[in-house]
Structure formats: C-alpha cells, structure tokens
Amino acid sequence: MSAVCALGTRRLLRQLRSGPPAAAAAAAMLRRYSLDVSAPLLRTQGYVDGRWVSAASAFPVLDPATGQEIARVSDCGPAEAKQAVDAAYTAFQSWKRSTAKERSVLLRKWFDLLLLHKEDLAKLITFECGKPLRESLGEVAYSASFLEWFSEEARRVYGDLVPAPAKDRKILLLKQPVGVASIITPWNFPSAMITRKVGAALAAGCTVVVKPAEDTPLSALALAELAEQAGIPAGVFNVVPCSREKTPSVGEVLCTDPLVAKISFTGSTATGKVLLKMAADTVKKASMELGGHAPFIVFDSADLDKAVGGAMASKFRNSGQTCVCSNRFLVQSGIYDRFVERLGQAMDAELRVGHGSEPDTTQGPLINTKAAEKVVQQISDAVSQGAKVLKGGKRLHGSFMEPTLLADVTTDMLCTKEETFGPLVPVIRFNTEEEALAVANAANVGLAGYFYSQDVSQIWRVAEELEVGMVGVNEGLLSTPEASFGGVKQSGLGREGSKYGIDEYLEVKYMCFGGLKA
C-alpha cells in the first residue's frame, strides 16, 4: 500500500468526487484487490533442471495499479543463471536427438494446458502488468497459438537435396538445432513473448534458459509449471527470475557463457545493443526484437470508420504499451478534422480507466510511475510548442494516465521523435503522399507501420516504400503466429513466428558425399 500512503487517503477521496477517469484511478488505488489463482500455478521459485529452486533472497512483485505486493519471488543471481545454462546444455544432448514428432506432441500438450488454465494465467498477467483482464485472456489465447503453431512446424523442418555439379557427388543440406538459447523477455506481453520464442526453440530441438522481466516473473513461472505438467524433460526449459538490481549480472551470464549458442531478446534498442556487444565475443547467433515508433497514416481516400477503429485498436491495447502500437498519427489535410473529431468521440465512448480486474476497464495503469512521467513530459513538450490537448492530458494517481489526444502536432516535438509507450495520440497534418512517407521513414527504427487508403495503386506504393518489417493495410491489429514478426533498421534482427521463426534456432549443415559410382 506504499503508493496509496504516499498520495494520501484524503487526496484520493477528493479525487473520487472529481468524476471519471480520475475517480476510477483513485478507486483502484484505494481498494485492495485479491489475486485468486490456483495454488500450483502461483510459483515463486526459479525453475532449473526440472526443480523449483530458491535463492538467498527474494524480490517483490507489485500490482502497478495499486502498488500492493502480489508475491515475493526468488531473486536468482549469476550462480543460478550458470546452473540453468549447464542444465540446458546437458539436456540438449538428449533433446536434440528426440524426434520431431516427440517434440510436437509435447508442445501440443503444453498448448492444451495453457487453454485449460487460461483464466488463472490471465489473472496473473493482469495483476503483474496492469492490463485489463479481457486483454490478458486474449494474450493467453495468443500465447497458446504459438505453441500450437510450432508443435506443427516441428514436423516441417526440411533440408534440401541439391543437384551436384559432378556425377560422383551428392549434396545434402541438413538443418540442426543451434544448442542452448538464452531468452530475455519483456514485461508488456510476458506470456506471449515466452511462448513465441520458446515454442520455436523447442520445436527446433534447442533447450532454453528464460530470464523474465523483473515486473512479470509470475506468468513465466506459471508457464514453467505447465511445461512440467506437459512432460517437457528436465533442463529443456529453465526460468531464472531476478530483480532489477541483479538483471545486469544475470544477463551477462546468459549472453557470454560459451555454452550458450543463441540469444533472443525483446526490449529497448539501447539494451539490445548492449547485449549484442556481450554476445559478440563468442559470436552467438542473435535475434533482437527492439524498439518501435510506428506511423499510422490516414489518406484522404480512407474509409473513416475503419481508420478510427484501427487507430483505437492499434493505440490503446495495454494502455499503449506495446512495441507495435501506433506512435505517430499522420492524417491528410482533406480528412484531418473529421478524423480527429471522430477519434475523440470514440475515445469518450470506448475507453474506461481502472484496475484491470474490473469488468468495464479498458485502460489499466502504466507499468510504473517513470513510464507515466515520460508521457507527461511528451505532452508538456508538445503543448509548449503549440499542440492542442483535445482529450485527456493529465496524469492520474500513481502510474495511471488519461488517454490523450493532441492536435496540431509537428515533427519537432518529442512525441514524434521517441517511442511513447503510453496512451498518447499525437496527430500530424500532411498534404502529400511523399510528405507522409518522408516523415514515416525518418525514424532510425522500423518495426510496424499502418496506413488507411482505398486507392489500390497507392496501397501498393506505400506498402513497399514504408521502411518497416510489418505493414497493416487498412488493419490496426496484425500479429498472428502464421506471419513473421520483426523489424528493420534499429528495430532488430531476425524474425519470430511464421515458418521463418523456427529457422532462427537452426543451423544449416552442408554434407557432400563424394566418390559415388554413377
């Protein structure tokens, strides 16, 4: 209750009378919410070599909506990380020899268990990262879909028989697992990021060590519990939770240990660069899914209803805290005023701030007060340079933020230069297609991009010209296990999901058979 005490009960009670959304945020912080999850899934120890292990100390996991402590989790350090790597390396010697069908069956069992326990997993996600329960249920379904997908892809890892240049030779290209993979995941989609990476790795025949985000270890440990129930062998899947203070030392082990062959990281571009430097000394294979700064372009020819619906879906999931959230809204002059008006109306009608466990909540808190302060800074900077606040604009209690709509935004403002990770919609007016593309492509990152148009020729031009790894054409939600996920420029390396996702955990071995009789 430290956050509540710091704000003061009297102040909160005054805010309760000030009306929504401040009232909902205040109520969320005053009330005590109880996490009701089946005992086997609420794990608080690390998971190494098929055993639940305690560390010398523990760190608190807090509900970002209230500041209340949910649980205390074992604070693993470099020693536990090394034990996990060693266990994974030992397990790899037998796991790599398992058949594709055996791996497929186990992943399918894990998938079935996720769906069976979807309500409990969703509650863990909501209490850890603050997102509404409906979104958390959607994340669990999305998480499970990767296990289903890679259970199927495990049986489709094909090599090649290549026509040889000589009659006495045969050329075979064989795909083999790289080895132990270190997987470092973010807090905003804790379950989905793990299954997307671990599903691919295990399907390929790799073993893994997962370091979950400091804010969201409980959902990762619940996944480990279900993996154990599914029969995934000891050492194949290991989870090493740790505090923010121990993250650098644990990360160093996972990125430098010579027994680790591959690292997969989702997080900020700045952190990704640090991890790549650490991995370079042993030339590890690396996948990096880093920062985004997604443009959302609305051309004059767009279907206005669809564009507004797409903007709402793309921007306000998890209160704007996803790497593929739209960050810069570029709207052509002919439709600008109507789009802004309709978007404001949709925000009023559809968005409700509150604790994620409340059934009407669509907007939970940001992950911490620092995240809220960043959004406030971007709003203040924009207003100081002439932007108009049409909706919201205020920080509420703790890390709650009002969903905010800004008009008359320019490319000189912070909100158009850096990723927000919050419920802020800055709208820039443009006149020509060339102008929009220049603004959209000016960023040094390129993860996702979205645009709305009914001009077929324009659709092809813009889709090809946008410098991003994923494009939503008249669509605001594009993630699916069947499609590749990843970016260009400083948004990262490699692809996750799709048939290409498993390739990130495979090496191609060339085998030349010579001296054969024709």
Residues noted as catalytic: 289, 323
When the pLDDT of each residue in the chain is averaged and rounded to a whole number, the result is 94
pTM above 0.75, yes or no: yes
For 133-188, what is each residue's pLDDT tens digit?
Answer: 999 999 999 999 999 999 999 999 999 999 999 999 999 999 999 999 999 999 99
Using CA atoms, how far apart are residues 420 and 318, in angstroms rounded to an integer? 13
Structural domain boundaries of the chain? 47-56+73-289, 294-480
3-state DSSP call for residue 28?
Answer: helix
For 269-307, what is each residue's pLDDT tens digit?
Answer: 999 999 999 999 999 999 999 999 999 999 999 999 999
Distance, C-alpha 482 to centroid of its chain: 17
Per-residue confidence (pLDDT) for residue 29, from 0 to 100: 63
Q: What is the largest CA-CA distance in the chain?
A: 91
Burial of 386 (0-12, 13-18, 19+ CB in 10 A): exposed
Burial of 182 (0-12, 13-18, 19+ CB in 10 A): buried
3-state DSSP call for residue 191?
Answer: helix
CB atoms near residue 428 (< 10 Å): 24
Query: CA angle at residue 439 from 433 to 443, to 5 degrees?
Result: 140
The candidate with the shortest Cα–Cα distance to 193, out of 499, 503, 497, is 497
Q: Is 2 a residue whose pLDDT tops 70?
A: no
Instruction: Give the percent of the chain with pLDDT over 90.
Output: 92
Paired sense of beta strands 388-391 and 170-177, if any: unpaired
Residue type, 301: S
Specify the fold of 294-480: Aldehyde Dehydrogenase; Chain A, domain 2 (3.40.309)
Cβ within 8 Å of residue 380, ≥6 positions away: none
Local structure of residue 280 (DSSP, 8 states): H
CATH of 47-56+73-289, one of 3.40.50.150, 3.40.50.970, 3.30.200.210, 3.40.605.10: 3.40.605.10
Per-residue confidence (pLDDT) for residue 14, from 0 to 100: 42
Domains 47-56+73-289 and 294-480 share a fold: no
Using CA atoms, how far apart are residues 194 and 183, in angstroms rounded to an integer? 8
Using CA atoms, how far apart are residues 124 and 150, in angstroms rounded to an integer? 24
Which residue is listed with tokens 């439709």? Answer: 335
CB 210 within 8 A of CB 185: yes
CB atoms near residue 38 (< 10 Å): 12
Six-digit token string for 96: 């790599």
For 353-374, what is each residue's pLDDT tens digit?
Answer: 999 999 999 999 999 999 999 9
Instruction: Give the percent of the chain with pLDDT over 70.
Output: 95
Using CA atoms, how far apart are residues 204 and 460, in angstroms rounded to an integer? 35
Count of residues making up the chain: 518
For 63-110, what is each residue's pLDDT tens digit?
Answer: 999 999 999 999 999 999 999 999 999 999 999 999 999 999 999 999
Query: CA angle at residue 108 from 104 to 111, to 5 degrees?
Result: 140
The sign of the torsion formed by the CA atoms of 410, 413, 417, 420 equals negative
Per-residue confidence (pLDDT) for residue 28, from 0 to 100: 66
Q: Can you state the angle between helices 190-204 and 133-153, rounded to 10 degrees?
A: 10
